[in-house]
Amino acid sequence: VDSQVLLEALYIVFEPARLLWLMLGVGTGLIVGILPGLGGVVGLALLLPFIYGLDPYAAMAMLIGVGAVVSTSDTFPSILIGTPGSAGSQATIMDGYPLAQKGEAARALSAAFSASMVGGVFGAIVLSLIIPVARPLVLAFGSPELLMLSVLGLTLVGSLSGSRVRNPVKGLSAAAFGLFLGTIGGAPAVLEYRFTFDALYLFEGIGLVLLSLGLFAIPEIVDLLCKGGAIADKMGSIGRGWRQGLRDTLRYRWLVLRHSAIGVLVGFTPGLGSAIVDWLNYGVVVRTSKDREEFGKGDIRGVIAPESANNAKDGGALIPTLLFGIPGSASMAILLGAMTTLGIEPGPRLIQNRPEVLYVIVWSLAIGTVAGTLICFLLSRWIARLALIPFHYVAPFILMALALGAYSSNFHWADLLVLLVFGLLGWLMKHAGVPRAPLLVGFVLSPLIERYLWISLTRYGLSFLLQPFVLVIATITVLLMVWQVLGTFGVGGGSKPRMQQGEG
């Protein structure tokens, strides 16, 4: 690790105004994590409009702050009311809720928070260690390799993204649709405007803010309102056991580290989102434990393992996003889009020209995780009550922020219309079992892929496809697609395709 850049980045983050923005992100993350149904993507989308005009470090700190804490605060509803705060805390219910019913909610929360903190910091450390190691490899990549890596990343996100119906064709369709939406507006290679219907509004393309708010926030709001009433009518007492929870985390420290490492690995793999990391780690801890009888009835290890992993995954997910410009999830796509908006181009140029940005992100992740955990510890009794507020009292305020955020994209009435249209599309996709993350990732990658393609073709012609790295990545991509499609058609496993229940 380049210690001078690391210290410079720390100095940048500790500038009071930037710390304040980071804390604003942490606060937003806390709230969206606690309100069941919303999540990190909605939190990021809500704050995205406010980055315009901010200094890039402050903006990045704020956005990272949201992601750093959602995986911690979403534990409240999982443990206290048995409803996941976000997709990443579903497995925590399995043992967290039974513990709360036994009067040990404080113990479960304490263990979850401390394991989350260790996981988050572990992820940040891995990220900081990977940067100098990966630097020569990243710098060796040219446009052809980056093109193929982008295609591979998109294929992974498309085919692995979770949805109600596990059908990779739906995810790939969504990814292709995102690529198409990304072509609206000016072409990168020549002066030509595409799919604009001669409307000036579309000349600069569709805004990432509008797309992310519409696709992710509006459908969740509508569904929560349709459910009606409070998320839970009553909540058990938090009880005692805060110290016991901390002791549990210390006692199972190797478990925490093992699952943090798994979390980083899963986060690194594009397409494997929060829900998968949570269930995967729960499954691993159950299978690898000798005494399994208490799992599902209130075993603290069933809380510690998924919680340490789902915080650590953020560090892992940032690796492909920052080093190669390939976002592996919807939140990473928003982050990548935000960086582009701020004039920061992730990938080789970032490592080469502005390495301090990478370490600002590392520090923000670590500080945000620690600050979020401390807030959760200190204010848990009050924060937990947020989950009991009937959603219809909260909805107008969230909608207000959405509308303002959407309108401030272009200050044009059409922004509001586009928001509603994407809201409808997002709702349709959600209930049709079409994952929305690949669409957003495809949208963000579209201009990059087209640019890499154009540069590769003009520089090397079609012979760029024969370069060694390109061949390797292309082979992996093709094999992956064939494997997924064969799996869908049930080849080797019966006649019915694998369209089973996903993680919701």
Partner 1 sequence: MALPVLPLIAATLFLALFAFAAWEARDFHQAARAFPMAVGLAGIALALLDMVLDLRFGDGQDPETPPFRHAALHFGLIGGYLLLFALIGFPLATGLYTFGFLLLMTRQRGKTEWLRSAVLAAAALAVSFALRALVGGRF
Q: Which residues 400-429 are close enough to bind partner 1 by CB under 8 A?
A: 400-401, 403-404, 407-408, 411, 413, 416-417, 419-420, 423-425, 427-429
The window from 38-46, 167-175, 302-310, 356-364 that contacts partner 1 (CB under 8 A) reads 167-175
Tokens of 68: 């750093």
Q: Write down the residue that tokens 């509006």 correspond to.
A: 218
Asked if residue 486 binds partner 1 (CB under 8 A), the reply is no
- 412: its two tokens: 């044009």
Binding to partner 1 (CB under 8 A) within 125-144 occurs at none
Q: Is 428 exposed, middle or buried (0-12, 13-18, 19+ CB in 10 A)?
A: exposed
- The residues with which 38 forms a beta bridge, in sequence order, are 36
| Beta strand ranges found along 98-236 (DSSP E) | 185-186, 193-194
Q: Does residue 397 belong to the site contacting partner 1 (CB under 8 A)?
A: yes
CB of 180 to partner 1, least distance (A): 5
Contact between 499 and partner 1 by CB under 8 A: the answer reads: yes
Closest separation in Å from C-beta 179 to partner 1: 5
Residue pair 32/38 in contact by the 8 Å Cβ criterion: yes
CB 91 within 8 A of CB 281: yes
Asked if 100 and 79 count as a contact pair (C-beta separation under 8 A), the reply is yes
Question: What is the nearest approach in angstroms of partner 1 to the Cβ of residue 70?
Answer: 22
* Residue 223 binds partner 1 (CB under 8 A): yes
Is 55 an interacting residue with respect to partner 1 (CB under 8 A)?
no
Tokens 């592996």 sit on residue? 328
**The residue count for the chain:** 504
Q: Which residues contact 295 (CB under 8 A, 6 or more apart)?
A: 94, 95, 285, 286, 289, 301, 302
Which residue from 211, 222, 143 is spatially nearest to 181, judged by alpha carbons?
211
Does position 396 interact with partner 1 (CB under 8 A)? The reply is: yes
Nearest-approach distance from CB 349 to partner 1, in angstroms: 22
Per DSSP, the three-state class of 499 is: coil
164 touches partner 1 (CB under 8 A): yes
Tell me the window of 101-109, 179-187, 263-271, 365-373 that interacts with partner 1 (CB under 8 A): 179-187
Q: Is residue 393 involved in binding partner 1 (CB under 8 A)?
A: yes
Q: Which is nearer to partner 1, 252 or 407 (CB)?
A: 407
- Does 176 participate in binding partner 1 (rule CB under 8 A)? yes
CB 183 within 8 A of CB 165: no
Interacting span for partner 1 (CB under 8 A) from 116-124, 148-156, 169-177, 304-312: 169-177
Q: Taking CB under 8 A as the rule, does residue 476 contact partner 1?
A: no
Q: Would you put residue 273 in left (φ > 0), alpha (ψ -120 to 50) or beta?
A: beta
Looking at 36-44, 67-75, 201-209, 219-227, which segment touches partner 1 (CB under 8 A)?
219-227
Do residues 112 and 303 make contact, with C-beta atoms less than 8 angstroms apart?
Answer: yes
DSSP-assigned beta bridge partners for residue 194: 185
Backbone angles phi, psi at 10, to 5 degrees: -65, -40
Contacting range for partner 1; rule: CB under 8 A; set: 31-39, 85-93, 187-195, 319-327: 187-195
- We find the least distance from the C-beta atom of residue 173 to partner 1, in angstroms, to be 4
Give the nearest distance from C-beta 52 to partner 1 in angstroms: 9
# binding residues, partner 1 (CB under 8 A): 64
| Distance between CA atoms of residues 245 and 255, nearest Å | 14
Site membership for partner 1, residue 395 (CB under 8 A): yes
Q: Minimum distance from CB of 450 to partner 1 (Å)?
A: 4
User: Closest separation between CB of residue 214 and partner 1, Å?
Assistant: 11
How far apart are alpha carbons 3 and 454 in whole angstroms? 38
Distance separating alpha carbons of residues 204 and 206, to the nearest angstrom: 7
Instruction: Tell me the pairing of strands 193-194 and 185-186.
Output: antiparallel
Using CA atoms, how far apart are residues 392 and 230, in angstroms rounded to an integer?
Answer: 8
CB of 226 to partner 1, least distance (A): 3
Q: Hey, which residues between 427 and 466 contact partner 1 (CB under 8 A)?
A: 427-429, 431-434, 449-450, 453-454
CA dihedral 189, 191, 194, 198 (to 10 degrees): 170
Closest CB 358 distance from partner 1, rounded Å: 30
Alpha-carbon dihedral sign for residues 421, 407, 68, 147: positive
399 binds partner 1 (CB under 8 A): yes
Told to check if 199 binds partner 1 by CB under 8 A, we report no
Binding site for partner 1 (CB under 8 A): 164-165, 167, 169-170, 172-173, 176-177, 179-180, 183, 187, 189-190, 192, 194-195, 218, 221-223, 225-229, 392-393, 395-397, 399-401, 403-404, 407-408, 411, 413, 416-417, 419-420, 423-425, 427-429, 431-434, 449-450, 453-454, 488, 496-497, 499, 504
